[in-house]
Homo-oligomer: A and B are copies of this chain.
């Protein structure tokens, strides 16, 4: 089956394609950079659901969108649903600055996928991973990868390279999506 992934972020497209190729290889994920306006909402769920609705209204084809963010405990959940904007402005250096001398470095990286197969309400698939904010940028990757250390590991997402896709929030959300699509296929 062909499934559109509405995104302008090529890093996300690459990651999702790789994970779906492993977990649901019968799905062809087609990237589509359809500009949909995101609602200014304090939850990723609302942002993703609304974007999926709007994209489906335009495209009228099976599609999903993904919204993700990092929620830092000591900063009351900042940057959360505004992660992309915050990354573009103050960046990882800004986050590290806000966290200077802060002992509680706990953070959660979260991914929400909203799937629209038809006119009905989008289905949401959620993945998250606990971890902490690193004390300095380490490794490559993109976005907040160099400053997020998933719990139980000794490396940032950036340092994990391709292995990020085995443990990430996005991996977990795509797993839930793939499970659903596999079930649908079983029934068909």
Contacts and interface: CB of A to CB of B under 8 A. Distances in A.
A58 interface: no
Interface in A95-127: 97-98, 100
Interface in A28-55: 37-42, 46-47, 50
Interface residues of A, number: 26
A154 to B, nearest CB: 28
Contacts of A81: 40
A86 interface: yes
A141 to B, nearest CB: 21
Which of A40, A97, A98 has the most chain B CB atoms closer than 10 A to its own CB?
A40
Interface stretch (A12-20, A71-79, A163-171): A71-79
Contact of A94 (B39, B42, B75, B89): B75
A23 B50 CA distance: 40
A13 to B, nearest CB: 20
Given A40-B37, A97-B100, A98-B97, A76 B88 contact: yes
Contacts of A86: 78, 82
Contact of A37 (B41, B78, B88): B41
Contacts of A76: 88-90
A142 interface: no
Interface of A: 37-42, 46-47, 50, 75-82, 85-86, 88-90, 94, 97-98, 100
27 contacts: A37-B39, A37-B40, A37-B41, A37-B46, A37-B50, A38-B39, A38-B40, A39-B40, A40-B47, A40-B81, A40-B85, A42-B85, A75-B89, A76-B88, A76-B89, A76-B90, A78-B85, A78-B86, A78-B89, A78-B94, A79-B89, A80-B89, A82-B86, A97-B97, A97-B98, A97-B100, A98-B98
